């Protein structure tokens, strides 16, 4: 045991702290310790130990007596090593957080290791092993296996056999004694991939599924650390798993937003994977039917090796997609959609209706004075939930009794508009009497079990119509489905966010993938008020227009100077006091402008107007704002944003880093830092 420890804390302070080791409960680097920080009991991560007080601590000899002793060591085993610490320091540097905050996000929070729940055994051994790969699959697999350290993209529709390639690449790595991390957007034990992995690899796999308790998670983490598990499958944070001799990181559904963390540190698993590739020499394989624009562009430039999987190996055929204009249609279900659902039923087949909005209606407007109803804490409209008889804010949860009359002028001529899934449920009852249906959204499905049950029943054909939000859009495969109806393709399209179009496109394509997976007669009906918007138009024209969408969308991004052509760092200043948030953001702008001039001298585009060419080169950076965030108030916090845009990340990174360290925000203002933001709302 060494007498002095340097620890990191999960707080926004960028330094290590020195503690005295405990003789009763001594700690080593890589373990967590319980300590007092000031008067607060908290957890520290031991990163190094020393025989004498380290000079880097800046402590003078007369202060040595004040060094506190740790209370106890939490872990029995070593939880993290030098690699993990290096990754944490990189995270801190890249995502502009403290190394302690980074480490805190990387390692499990469980306190005591418990047995992980026993996973279902592998009764029927998997047969796909005997399946011969298609030529396209074979080519991709051969490239992946013979090019360690490279990044590969499998670009192909649902059912084109991407998963099979992922699984075989995993087998190959295991046979070479290498470990694998397999990332999926969200993971449950019933997820097809966990089932497949379990069947093929048994106990060699650790499945970090969403039902694990923190201590079970810790148990799995240690199994990985000890090398007992060689394969890890999990959502975003599984990218940090301490897999030994890492050979491959798989990122399934690469475009999925859930790979980006919504809290500090706001990391993107794709970016972290890229860093592990550099540090540990592993390969990366990603796949999707709808890549992010960034990935698509990297493939175009040849930075990522792309393989197209064009054939549906699952049988079936691409569905017929029909775009139906809602102009002049009464109610949310068009005659075409109603007819299609009825036809499916008459053939003993099923339908899925998709709407990305829960509740009954989400818009209240007085026809006399024009008053709309917004949350008292947020700049968002309240959603009427009929079953609960409440108007609820989806951002902060505040709720009120639905007013019968206008709260402003007392008029009874009020209008509830903008339908949600609850509203559609009534439409189903009206239009399809005698049909069985189930609604799946976070209101109707409160537990994981009830979700699993609804899905099981639908799979078994006991339900005619499945109505739901995002929850029904992702990764589910139902053999009996003939019709998929997108009730409103427009819900996300008009959001003031540069990724709105990309997301809408991806969602329609993904939802469409649920139809005709096993039968050749799948039908998708996409209802919209904006049939000519490229995101909707291209998605509706099917596979042949996928390329066209990316070409058009990237052209727009190029003109607007948004990623992938620039990089972004976003600062949100939030405060209960509007003035305080605004002032801080304005002051920040001055400081950052100066810092940028400092780090990028002489590079600004400041020629007098007359001397400029017709298309002057854009400056290497730009600061946008401060401006109110589109969601200007959330939970009573006023929000202002500053957006740093750089042709290259390093240009804006340096200034942002100095700003974060040097700027002293007023007590009542909190700054959210987001590098490569996924959304600007």
Exposure of 342 by Cβ count < 10 A (0-12 exposed, 13-18 middle, 19+ buried)? middle
Residues 117-149 as b/e (b if ≥16 CB within 10 A, e otherwise) read eebeeeeeebeeeeeebbebbeebbeebbeeee
Environment class of 186 (CB within 10 Å of its CB; exposed 0-12, middle 13-18, buried 19+): middle
Q: Which of 405, 409, 555, 558 is in the footprint of Zn ion by CB under 5 A?
A: 409
Asked if 145 contacts 211 with a C-beta cutoff of 8 angstroms, the reply is no
Residues that contact ligand ADP, how many (by CB under 6 A)? 15
> Which tokens sit at 601?
């001298």
Q: Is 538 annotated as a binding residue?
A: no
- What is d(CA 136, CA 159) in angstroms, rounded to the nearest whole number? 13
Contact between 412 and Zn ion by CB under 5 A: the answer reads no
Examine residue 152 and tell whether it contacts ligand ADP (CB under 6 A): no
Alpha carbons 191 and 451: distance in angstroms, whole number: 13
> How do strand 205-208 and strand 231-234 relate by DSSP bridges?
parallel
Q: Is residue 160 near ligand ADP by the rule CB under 6 A?
A: yes
323 marked ligand binding residue? no
Nearest to 358 by CA among 441, 449, 267: 441
User: What φ, ψ does residue 204 adopt, rounded to 5°?
Assistant: -70, -10
DSSP 8-state class, residue 178: -
406 is in an annotated binding site: yes
Q: Binding residue for Zn ion (CB under 5 A) from 206, 393, 530, 629? A: 393
Cβ nearer to Zn ion, comparing 405 with 555: 405
In the complex, the smallest distance separating the C-beta of residue 21 from Zn ion, rounded to whole angstroms, is 48
Per the document, the length of the chain is 681
Residue 375 contact, options Zn ion, ligand ADP, none, Cβ 5-8 Å cut-off depending on partner type: Zn ion
Question: Taking contact as CB under 6 A, which single stretch among the options 125-133, 358-366, 409-417, 592-600 is the one that binds ligand ADP?
Answer: 125-133
- 518 lies in the site for ligand ADP, by CB under 6 A: no
256: Cα separation from own chain's centroid = 6
Given the complex with ligand ADP, which of 126 and 529 has the nearer CB atom?
A: 126
For residues 201 and 197, give the distance between their C-alpha atoms in angstroms, rounded to a whole number. 6
178 interface partner picked from ligand ADP, Zn ion, none, CB below 5 to 8 A per type: none
Strand partners, 117: none
Q: Does 390 bind Zn ion (CB under 5 A)?
A: no
Per the CB < 8 A criterion, the answer to whether 518 and 314 are in contact is yes
Cβ 427 to Zn ion shortest distance, Å = 27
Cβ-based nearer residue to ligand ADP, 162 or 567: 162
Verify binding: residue 406, Zn ion, rule CB under 5 A.
yes
- For residues 278 to 317, the per-residue mask of contacts with ligand ADP, x marking binding by CB under 6 A and - elsewhere, is -----------------------------------xx---
x/- letters, 338..377, toward Zn ion (CB under 5 A): ----------------------------x-xx-x---x-x
Which DSSP symbol is given to 667? T
**Residue 134 binds ligand ADP, judged by CB under 6 A:** yes
Whichever of 315 and 370 has its CB closer to ligand ADP, that residue is: 315
Binding-site member from 44, 104, 161, 234 for ligand ADP (CB under 6 A): 161
In the block, tokens 């600004």 appear at 604
Q: What share of the chain is helix, strand, coil (3-state, %, to 5)?
A: 35, 25, 40
195 touches ligand ADP (CB under 6 A): no
Q: If contact means CB under 5 to 8 A according to the sort of partner, which of ligand ADP, Zn ion, none does residue 453 touch?
A: none
158 binds ligand ADP (CB under 6 A): yes
Q: Please indicate if the annotation marks 97 as binding a ligand.
A: no
Cα gap 138→614, rounded to integer Å: 50
The correct pick among 13, 133, 338, 627 for binding ligand ADP (CB under 6 A) is: 133
Q: Which residues contact 674 (CB under 8 A, 6 or more apart)?
A: 266, 569, 570, 571, 572
Q: Closest separation between CB of residue 158 and ligand ADP, Å?
A: 4
What is the rounded distance in angstroms from the CA atom of residue 84 to the CA atom of residue 225? 11
Q: Where does this chain bind ligand ADP (CB under 6 A)?
A: 128, 131, 133-134, 137, 156, 158-164, 313-314
**Known binding positions:** 366, 369, 375, 378, 393, 396, 406, 409
Q: Where does this chain bind Zn ion (CB under 5 A)?
A: 366, 368-369, 371, 375, 377-378, 393, 395-396, 398, 406, 408-409, 411
């Amino acid at each position: 045991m060494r007498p002095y420890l340097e620890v990191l804390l999960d707080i926004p302070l960028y330094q290590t702290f020195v503690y005295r080791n405990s003789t009763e409960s001594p700690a080593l680097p890589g373990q967590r310790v319980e300590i007092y920080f000031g008067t607060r009991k908290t957890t520290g991560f031991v990163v190094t130990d020393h025989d004498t007080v380290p000079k880097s601590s800046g402590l003078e000899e007369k202060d040595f007596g004040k060094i506190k002793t740790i209370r106890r060591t939490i872990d029995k085993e070593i939880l993290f090593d030098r690699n993990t610490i290096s990754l944490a320091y990189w995270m801190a540097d890249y995502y502009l957080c403290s190394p302690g905050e980074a480490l805190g996000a990387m390692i499990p929070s469980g306190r005591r290791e418990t047995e992980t729940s026993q996973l279902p055994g592998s009764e029927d051994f998997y047969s796909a092993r005997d399946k011969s790969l298609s030529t396209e699959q074979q080519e991709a697999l051969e490239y992946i296996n013979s090019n360690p350290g490279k990044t590969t993209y499998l670009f192909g529709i649902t059912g084109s056999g991407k998963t099979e390639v992922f699984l075989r690449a995993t087998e190959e790595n295991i046979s070479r004694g290498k470990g694998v991390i397999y990332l999926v957007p969200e993971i449950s034990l019933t997820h097809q991939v966990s089932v497949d992995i379990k069947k093929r690899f048994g106990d060699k796999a650790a499945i970090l599924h969403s039902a694990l308790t923190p201590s079970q998670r810790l148990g799995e983490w240690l199994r990985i650390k000890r090398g007992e598990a060689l394969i890890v499958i999990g959502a975003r944070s599984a990218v940090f798993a301490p897999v030994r001799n890492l050979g491959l990181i798989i990122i399934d559904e690469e475009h999925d937003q859930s790979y980006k963390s919504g809290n500090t540190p706001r990391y993107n698993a794709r970016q972290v994977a890229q860093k592990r590739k550099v540090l540990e020499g592993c390969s990366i394989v990603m796949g999707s039917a709808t890549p992010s624009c960034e990935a698509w562009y990297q493939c175009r430039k040849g930075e990522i090796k792309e393989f197209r999987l064009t054939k549906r190996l699952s049988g079936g055929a691409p569905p017929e997609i029909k775009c139906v204009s809602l102009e002049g249609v009464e109610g949310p279900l068009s005659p075409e959609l109603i007819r299609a659902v009825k036809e499916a039923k008459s053939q003993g087949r099923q339908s899925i209706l998709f709407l990305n909005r829960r509740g009954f209606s989400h818009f209240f407007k007085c026809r006399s004075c024009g008053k709309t109803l917004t949350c008292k804490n947020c700049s968002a409209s309240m959603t009427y939930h009929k079953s609960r008889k409440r108007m609820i804010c989806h951002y902060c949860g505040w709720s009120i009794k639905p007013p019968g009359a206008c709260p402003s002028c007392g008029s009874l001529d009020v209008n509830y508009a903008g339908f949600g899934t609850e509203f559609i449920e009534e439409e189903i009852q009206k239009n399809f009497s005698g049909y069985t249906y189930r609604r799946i959204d976070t209101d109707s499905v409160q537990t994981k079990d009830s979700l699993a049950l609804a899905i099981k029943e639908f799979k078994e054909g006991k339900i005619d119509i499945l109505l739901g939000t995002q929850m029904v859009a992702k990764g589910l495969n139902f053999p009996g489905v003939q019709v998929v109806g997108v009730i409103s393709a427009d819900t996300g399209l008009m959001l003031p966010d540069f990724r709105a179009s990309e997301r809408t496109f991806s969602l329609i394509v993904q939802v469409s993938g649920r139809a005709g997976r096993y039968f050749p007669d799948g039908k998708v009906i996409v209802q919209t008020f904006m049939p000519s918007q490229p995101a909707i138009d291209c998605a509706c024209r099917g596979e042949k227009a996928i390329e066209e969408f990316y070409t058009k969308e990237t052209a727009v991004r190029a003109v607007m100077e948004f990623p992938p052509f620039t990089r972004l760092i976003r600062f949100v200043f939030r405060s209960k006091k509007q003035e305080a948030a605004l002032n801080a953001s304005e002051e920040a702008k001055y400081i950052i402008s100066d810092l940028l001039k400092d780090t990028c001298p002489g590079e600004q585009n400041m020629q007098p107007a007359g001397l400029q060419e017709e298309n002057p080169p854009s400056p290497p950076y730009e600061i946008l704002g401060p401006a109110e965030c589109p969601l200007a108030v959330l939970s009573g916090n006023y929000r202002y944003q500053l957006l740093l845009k750089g042709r290259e990340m390093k240009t804006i990174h340096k200034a942002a880093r100095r700003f974060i360290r040097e700027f002293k925000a007023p007590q009542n203002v909190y700054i959210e830092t987001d590098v490569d933001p996924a959304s600007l709302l």
